Amino acid sequence: MSTHHHHAKDFLFTYVFSQDHKMISKQFLITGFLMGFIGLIMSTLFRLQLGWPGESFEVIDMFMGSWAENGVMSPDRYLALVTMHGTIMVFFLLTAGLSGTFSNLLIPLQIGARDMASGFLNMLSYWFFLISSLIMLTSLFVEGGAASSGWTIYPPLSALPEAIPGSGTGMTLWLVSMTVFIASSLLGSLNYIVTIFNLRTKGMTMTRMPLTIWAFLLTAILGVLSFPVLLAACLLLVFDRSFGTSFYLSDIYIGGQVLDHTGGSPILFEHLFWFLGHPEVYIVLLPALGITSEIISTMSRKPIFGYRAMIGSMMAIAFLSFIVWGHHMFLTGMNPFLGSVFTFTTLLIAIPSAVKVFNYITTLWKGNIVFTPATLFSVGLVSTFISVV
């Protein structure tokens, strides 16, 4: 009996509540892939309905049952699937799945550390990610359905529980899920930053670190600086939904009746959301670029060309990503001069991106290029994330 208890405890702490960075990496990978597969199914279902509107499909009837009578998806369910697909793919697959998997696996190995700075917080970051994933999926099965205001959850649809069916309990669960997800992201990012700064092996200065680690470091810094802004936006949205405030609402009519909301503006939410939303693009892209840098260098049998320029270009991309969010909001009536400023910074960010591409080409030039599965993985990884971004 005691032997069975001992083995059960070993299994739990080895595979379930593990504090080993390699096992946590696998946990992020498996959970991220499962969420991505669910998002892929959603995409297939609503694209079928989009391609042949009003047509009946057995596959839609099989997956959605009473939510799609006779295999035809209702407009409310269509909006819910589009919203959940976008949320899952952007946050739960690309953000947590990519950073959680590769940062956990590679950071200690490539800087010579035994593990992360805090194995316990690392474990918590995964479990918060898993809990947020389960809460998000649970919202599919509540009365009224999942959130239906798009993955950007713009008010007033997201701020008024009575606006559409998906603005009720499903929207509340979306906000709860994202709150837990942000906690997971912050725990993981802080752990990565502390590990890289404090646990490098003897002799590994910052300018000797692999470009992969630089990419993970800058990605973690972006997450620490930007995700709390989304948390603040969601908190104000909760106040509007549940406590009668008017941060994002003003002069709202439902069914011809004016609601008691004045003084707010949905544009405020857009500013807060996209202040996270654009660095989010590079939270997704930078790890892929860092991994690609090492693979191209290795498979060319040459050191990466312009190592310090590559670091500088990633730093420039990270900085500029915080001052381009307004290009998502050109149709909000912003001042044309302000719009031209955001246009300029958007064009400016192409310069450090071009530096990276130039250095990739120069590294490959006259290199002893070897084509292996790793090479194909590198090309596929970058092309996939560039297409998504």
* Lowest model confidence (mean pLDDT) among 83-92, 116-125, 246-255: 246-255
CATH number, domain 18-209, options 1.20.210.10, 3.40.91.10, 1.10.580.10, 3.20.20.10: 1.20.210.10
Q: What's residue 382's pLDDT?
A: 58
* Lowest model confidence (mean pLDDT) among 50-54, 205-209, 327-331: 50-54
Q: Is the pLDDT of residue 385 over 70?
A: no
Q: What is the mean pLDDT of residues 334-341?
A: 93
DSSP secondary structure of 6-55: HHHHHHIIIIIS---HHHHHHHHHHHHHHHHHHHHHHHHHHHHHHHSTT-
Separation CA 115–CA 166 (nearest Å)? 43
Extract long-range pairs of 195-200: CB within 8 Å, 24+ residues apart: 195/107, 195/108, 195/111, 195/113, 195/116, 195/117, 196/107, 196/111, 196/220, 198/117, 199/108, 199/111, 199/113, 199/114, 199/117, 200/111, 200/112, 200/113
Contact by Cβ (8 Å): 159, 241: yes
Separation CA 6–CA 153 (nearest Å)? 48
Residue 384 pLDDT grade (very low, low, confident, very high; cuts 50, 70, 90): low
Those residues with Cβ within 8 angstroms of residue 262's Cβ, 6 or more apart along the chain or in another chain:
246, 250, 251
Please report, rounded to a whole number, the percentage of residues in the chain having pLDDT higher than 90: 64
Residue 185 identity: S
Residue 325 pLDDT grade (very low, low, confident, very high; cuts 50, 70, 90): very high
Q: Is the pLDDT of residue 98 over 70?
A: yes
Nearest to 326 by CA among 340, 310, 312: 340
Q: What's residue 102's pLDDT?
A: 92
Q: What is the mean pLDDT of residues 324-334?
A: 92
Those residues with Cβ within 8 angstroms of residue 180's Cβ, 6 or more apart along the chain or in another chain:
128, 131, 132, 135
The pLDDT tens digits of the residues spanning 146-189 come to 999 999 999 989 998 888 888 999 999 999 999 999 999 999 99
The alpha-helical segments, DSSP class H, found in the chain are: 2-11, 21-51, 58-64, 75-87, 96-111, 119-138, 169-198, 211-242, 266-300, 307-320, 336-348, 350-364, 373-388
* Average per-residue pLDDT for the chain: 89
Q: Is the pLDDT of residue 388 over 70?
A: no
Residue 379 pLDDT grade (very low, low, confident, very high; cuts 50, 70, 90): low
* Lowest model confidence (mean pLDDT) among 70-84, 89-103, 182-196, 249-263: 249-263
Separation CA 157–CA 170 (nearest Å)? 12
Here the tokens at position 18 are 């593990």
Separation CA 142–CA 161 (nearest Å)? 14
Q: What's residue 295's pLDDT?
A: 87
Separation CA 230–CA 332 (nearest Å)? 19
The pLDDT tens digits of the residues spanning 22-81 come to 999 999 999 999 999 999 999 999 999 888 888 888 888 888 877 777 888 888 889 999
Residue 263 pLDDT grade (very low, low, confident, very high; cuts 50, 70, 90): confident
First vs last Cα of the chain: how many Å apart? 54
Contact by Cβ (8 Å): 193, 220: yes
Q: What's residue 182's pLDDT?
A: 96
Q: What's residue 386's pLDDT?
A: 52
pLDDT, greater one: 68 or 86: 86
What's the DSSP call for residue 303?
P
Separation CA 186–CA 7 (nearest Å)? 33
The pLDDT tens digits of the residues spanning 111-127 come to 999 999 999 999 999 99
Q: What is the mean pLDDT of residues 280-293?
A: 91
Separation CA 113–CA 196 (nearest Å)? 9
Residue length, the chain? 389
> Which region, left, alpha or beta, applies to residue 188 given φ > 0 means left and ψ of -120 to 50 means alpha?
alpha
Q: What's residue 53's pLDDT?
A: 87
User: Hey, where are the domains in the chain?
Assistant: 18-209
Q: What's residue 368's pLDDT?
A: 85
What's the DSSP call for residue 146?
B
